[in-house]
């Protein structure tokens, strides 16, 4: 049901919006150092897994020894040769080493953990690109609206100058309009600076100067699904799975640490190509080496306690992460619900504010309202338009962020 709701959202979201976002994300993927680091850590974990697997396999080594000694007194024998040497091949096969299998299992879980962290890094990049893309779009729309306000304000000032010249308006009305125009000029500068700042954030993600594709302003977006569905899906997030795997890792660490109390047993075999001494005619030997730890100064017990505390810490991190994810999903879901109503109300407010401004312009020509009334209605119209268009984009951005918060990328 959750996946269906997400599909419904994507199918109804404006294609041009997601297309522009995907273009930016594609560039960000190629540029992102975070993803490259995650890939490297995954490769390192795979190498550690291979190295751990190698400890279970036999090792074969070639060896050559040569020793020359000061001739001892007495008659010559195999023990009094001044030069002793041997050339051999040695095979060593671990038979029992407690903790070896746990160590190998540790690396398998570690590899899975790094894969989950790579997935979470990918979601993090989607989060960053989504925020940067919509903030850029909001800044662009805001600048367009402020420039529209400036255009209207400039037309209003020109009209009043003409009316003052012919004596149909007071000079004070013109001064009000010119003050409005100067104020809007300052707003234009601030909006242009905000647009440049958001463009820099987009360029940083893209790794180059990039202008995302803009489509028509979306006015209808699919309704969000039930909160419970989002909360259920969020439990499958890669970072939650990675946190659970961290607990498994510390369990393996405990097993590895406890293995320090156990003996180790190895099988050894040598084949001699050449050697001196009384065994010079013997070509091979085999044997078993058993090592039993007796006293290690309490280091094994300390390592075990340390690993147990790390597991306790990871359990607490896991519990906290699950609560944080649930909190974030609840907040995002509630924000989407709120913005649904905000968008609806602001759409009505924008329409009525525009109609009020147009009516005041007509009434002013007949002397029914003052110039100040026209300026106030103009500002209210543009403010409502800016608020409506920003709310539409914020709602779409939050809907995508809610989807990402459940661990599903667009």
| Rounded-to-integer distance, Cα 180 and Cα 155, Å | 12
Burial of 147 from C-beta contacts in 10 A (0-12 / 13-18 / 19+): middle
- Which CATH superfamily groups domain 2-9+22-69+83-405? Outer membrane efflux proteins (OEP) (1.20.1600.10)
| Rounded-to-integer distance, Cα 85 and Cα 350, Å | 98
How many other C-beta atoms can be found within 10 angstroms of the C-beta atom of residue 98?
Answer: 16
pLDDT at res. 1 = 40
pTM of the model: 0.83
Residue 67's nearest CA partner among 51, 54, 80, 58 is 80
DSSP 264-290: EEEEEEEEEEEE-STTTT--EEEEEEE
Residue 402's nearest CA partner among 339, 316, 319, 345 is 339
- pLDDT 10s per residue in the chain (410 long)? 433 344 334 344 444 567 888 889 999 999 999 999 999 999 999 999 999 999 889 999 999 999 887 777 766 665 667 788 899 999 999 998 888 888 999 999 999 999 999 999 999 999 999 999 999 999 999 999 999 999 988 988 888 888 888 887 788 888 888 898 899 999 999 999 999 999 999 999 998 888 877 766 765 556 788 999 999 999 999 999 999 999 999 999 999 999 888 999 999 999 999 988 888 889 999 999 999 998 888 898 999 999 999 999 999 999 999 999 999 999 999 999 999 999 999 999 999 999 999 999 888 888 888 888 888 899 999 999 999 999 999 999 999 999 999 999 88
Q: Are residues 320 and 239 in contact, defined by beta-carbon separation less than 8 angstroms?
A: no
- Cα distances (angstroms) measured from residue 327 to each of 130, 243, 245, 333: 20, 17, 22, 10
Burial of 130 from C-beta contacts in 10 A (0-12 / 13-18 / 19+): buried
Residue 396's nearest CA partner among 197, 138, 159, 77 is 138
Residue written as token pair 């013997």:
282
* Total residue count of the chain as it appears in this document: 410
How many other C-beta atoms can be found within 10 angstroms of the C-beta atom of residue 178?
Answer: 16
pLDDT at res. 339 = 92
pLDDT at res. 75 = 67
| Rounded-to-integer distance, Cα 177 and Cα 372, Å | 8
| Rounded-to-integer distance, Cα 269 and Cα 88, Å | 10
Q: Are residues 260 and 300 in contact, defined by beta-carbon separation less than 8 angstroms?
A: yes
């Amino acid at each position: 049901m959750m996946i269906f709701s997400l599909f419904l959202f994507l199918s109804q979201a404006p294609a041009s919006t997601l297309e522009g976002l995907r273009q930016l994300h594609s560039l960000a993927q190629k540029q992102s150092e975070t993803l490259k680091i995650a890939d490297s850590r995954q490769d390192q974990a795979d190498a550690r897994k291979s190295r751990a697997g190698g400890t279970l396999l036999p090792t074969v080594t070639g060896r050559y020894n040569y020793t020359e000694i000061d001739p001892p007194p007495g008659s010559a024998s195999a023990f009094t040769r001044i030069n002793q040497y041997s050339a051999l091949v040695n095979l060593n096969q671990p038979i029992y080493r407690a903790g070896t299998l746990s160590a190998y299992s540790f690396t398998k879980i570690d590899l899975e953990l790094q894969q989950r962290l790579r997935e979470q890094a990918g979601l993090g990049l989607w989060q960053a690109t989504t925020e940067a893309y919509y903030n850029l779009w909001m800044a662009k729309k805001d600048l367009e609206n402020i420039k529209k306000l400036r255009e209207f304000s400039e037309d209003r000032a020109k009209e009043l100058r003409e009316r003052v010249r012919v004596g149909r308006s007071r000079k004070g009305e013109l001064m009000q309009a010119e003050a409005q125009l100067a104020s809007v000029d300052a707003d234009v500068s601030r909006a242009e600076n905000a647009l440049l700042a958001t463009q820099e954030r987009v360029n940083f993600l893209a790794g180059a100067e990039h202008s995302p594709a803009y489509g028509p302003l979306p006015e209808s977006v699919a309704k969000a699904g039930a909160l419970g569905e989002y909360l259920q899906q969020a439990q499958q997030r890669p970072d939650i799975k990675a946190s659970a795997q961290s607990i498994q890792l510390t369990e393996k660490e405990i097993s590895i640490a406890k293995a320090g109390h156990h003996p180790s047993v190895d099988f050894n075999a040598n084949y001699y190509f050449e050697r001196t001494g009384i065994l010079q005619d013997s070509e091979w030997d085999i044997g078993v080496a058993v090592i039993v730890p007796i006293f290690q100064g309490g280091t094994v017990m300390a390592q075990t306690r340390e690993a147990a505390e790390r597991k306790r810490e990871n359990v607490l991190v896991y519990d906290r992460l699950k609560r944080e994810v649930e909190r974030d999903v609840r907040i995002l879901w509630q924000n989407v619900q709120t913005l649904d109503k905000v968008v609806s109300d602001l759409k009505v407010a924008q329409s009525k504010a525009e109609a009020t401004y147009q009516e005041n312009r007509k009434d002013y020509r007949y002397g029914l309202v003052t110039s100040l009334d026209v300026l106030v209605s103009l500002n209210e119209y543009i403010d409502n338009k800016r608020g409506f268009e920003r709310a539409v984009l914020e709602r779409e951005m939050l809907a995508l962020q809610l989807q990402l918060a459940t661990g599903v990328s667009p």
